[in-house]
Amino acid sequence: MRTMDMSERFEITSANGGSQLEFVGAIPRGLQGYEDCHFMVRLRGGGVEAAEKVYEIAPHHWASFFEDLSKNWRGWQGEKSHESLEHQLQIVATADHLGHIRLRITLRGDMSGSDWLAIDSISLEAGQLGQIATSAREYFG
């Protein structure tokens, strides 16, 4: 049985105040199999402003992605990434061992019938990751 959560917004803001990534829309709880949901993603700041509806069948995987970043707050080698089912949204995270995290966000306009691409980066500090993971779990379930 699907139920709706009360949290209808999740936001990540750059530590330097530059860019912002926002997820908007209620995420149903209890999705099973190939049940789907949609939510809006907005990317703005740093000269970029874009929004696209994102399609998912397992939105809780986004919460797991942010929780993994938080668990590895001291940094990691290479990239950690996650992408939406139909590739409208991709986040690639890199970190150094000084507590600086960079999220490279790619948002594609393929669901709306147009062919656009917006790319921006969000800079985070390791100390932000715990709250981001908590907010992501509240939002995505």
Per-block average pLDDT, block size 10, for the chain (141 residues)?
60 91 91 81 92 92 97 94 95 94 93 80 96 96 87
* Nearest CA among 119, 73, 66 for reference residue 95: 73
For residues 22 and 11, is the Cβ–Cβ distance under 8 A?
Answer: yes
Say which CATH architecture domain 3-140 belongs to.
Answer: Roll (2.30)
pLDDT at 46: 80
* Residue 64 neighbours by CB under 8 Å, 6+ apart: none
CA–CA separation, 138 vs 38, rounded Å? 16
Q: Which residue has tokens 């700041």?
A: 45
Phi and psi angles of residue 101, each rounded to the nearest 5 degrees, phi first = -120, 140
Q: What is the pTM (predicted TM-score) of this model?
A: 0.89
